[in-house]
Amino acid sequence: MTRLSAITRILATAGVVAFAAPAFAADEVNIYSYRQPELIAPLLERFEEETGIQTNVLFLDKGLVERIQAEGVNSPVDVILTVDIGRLTEAKDGGVTQPVESELINADIPEQYRDEDGEWFALTKRGRVVYASKDRVGDIPITYEELADPKWKGAICIRDGQHPYNIALIASMIAHHGAEYTEEWLRGFKANLARKPNGNDRGQAKAIMSGECDIALGNTYYVGLMMTNDKEPEQKDWAEAITVLFPNADDRGTHVNISGMAMAKNAPHPDTALKLMEFLASPEAQEIYAEQVFEYPVLPGAEASEIVQSFGEINPDTLPLSEVAAHRKEASELVDKVRFNDGP
C-alpha cells in the first residue's frame, strides 16, 4: 500500500481527527473530496512523485460545506474536490472558497468551465445523455426537447427528478428556453415516463435491458463504469444492452456537467494548494483523471479514454455553467410544481 493509500484510508474513516495537529507542515496539502478516494488516488500519487508534497484526503459523502463552515478559521482543508456544478456553486455561495489567480490554470481551463470570480474550476466533464435500447431504438438522432414528444409515451425511465444531475439539465433548459417552456416540457416528459422516477443511472440501463423502458437519461461515465465492473459482471450486460445517444448533437450541443476544484477560504497551505490546483488543471493530470473516471477532459485537445471515445463524438453545449447554476432553484421548484416524481 502506498503512503497516499494509507492516508486516504485513515482519513476516510477517522475524519477530521487526522487533521487535528495544531501545526501545519509546509510540504503538505489537505483535501476534502466528494469523489471516492480510489478515483483520485492516481492523480495525487503522481503529484506527490513530481513535487514531494504530501497529500492528505478526507472523503465525504455529504455535508462538506457545512463542515467547513463549522470549522471556521481553524479549518485544515486547503483544496475542495467535488462533482456537479451545483456543489461547486454551493461551496462558493456558502463562503468556504476563495478566488484564485493563476495564468497556468486559466490557460488550461476554458472560460466556460471556470467561475468568473476564480472561485472554482472544472477538471472533467460528463454528458447527460440518452441511453437507448440497441434492439428497440438503435443509434438515432435525438434532442432533449423531444423527450416530451408523445411518440415516447410509456418509453422513458429516469432517476429522481430532484437529483442534482437532473436538476442541472432542467436548469439548462430554463437557460435556453425560459421557465414557461420548461414547465410545459416537464409535463410532457412526465407523461412519457414508463414508471415513477427511481434508482440510479446504472439502474436505468438495467431497466432498458429488462424491457421496462426503451430510453433513459444517464451520465456518460456510468457506461464506462458498467463496462469495466468485474465485481458485478451483470452490469456489463446492462451496458451492452444500450447505445449512448448525444442529444442536440447537431444544434446547441449536449448538456454537460463537471467535476471541479476550489481553494478553501482559510487554506493553511495556500502555496501548496495552488501547486496542486495547477497540477490538476494540467494536460497530464486531466488525461489521468479522465481515464480513471471515464469522463472527458475540459482542456481542448486532451484525449478521453478509449472506452469513452467508443461512445462517439460529444459536442458539448457552450452555455457557461454559471448560467446553468443560476437556474437550479427554479428548476427544483418546477420539478415539484409538475409533480414529476409522481410518474405518469
Residue set of the binding site for Fe cation? 221-222
Q: What are phi and psi of 8, to 5 degrees?
A: -60, -45
- 231 by DSSP, 3-state: which? coil
Distance between CA atoms of 286 and 299, rounded to whole angstroms?
8
Identify the residue whose cell numbers are 488550461. 108
Distance between CA atoms of 169 and 171, rounded to whole angstroms?
5
Phi-psi region of 41 (alpha: psi -120 to 50; beta: other; left: phi over 0): alpha
Spell out the alpha helix ranges (H) of the chain.
3-14, 37-51, 64-71, 85-93, 103-108, 164-177, 179-191, 201-210, 220-227, 234-240, 270-281, 283-293, 306-309, 321-325, 328-337
Binding residues: 221-222
Sign of the dihedral defined by the CA atoms of residues 240, 238, 186, 195, in that order: positive
Contact between residue 162 and residue 329 where contact means Cβ atoms under 8 Å apart = no
Calculated CA dihedral for residues 146, 147, 151, 156, nearest 10 degrees: 160
Q: In the structure grid, which three cell numbers stand for residue 123, read together?
A: 477538471
Distance between CA atoms of 286 and 274, rounded to whole angstroms?
16
List Cα–Cα distances, 3 to 8, 45, 60, 344, in angstroms: 9, 9, 20, 52
Pairing of the two strands 54-59 and 28-33: parallel
Pairing of the two strands 97-98 and 121-133: unpaired
Q: What are phi and psi of 196, to 5 degrees?
A: -65, 145
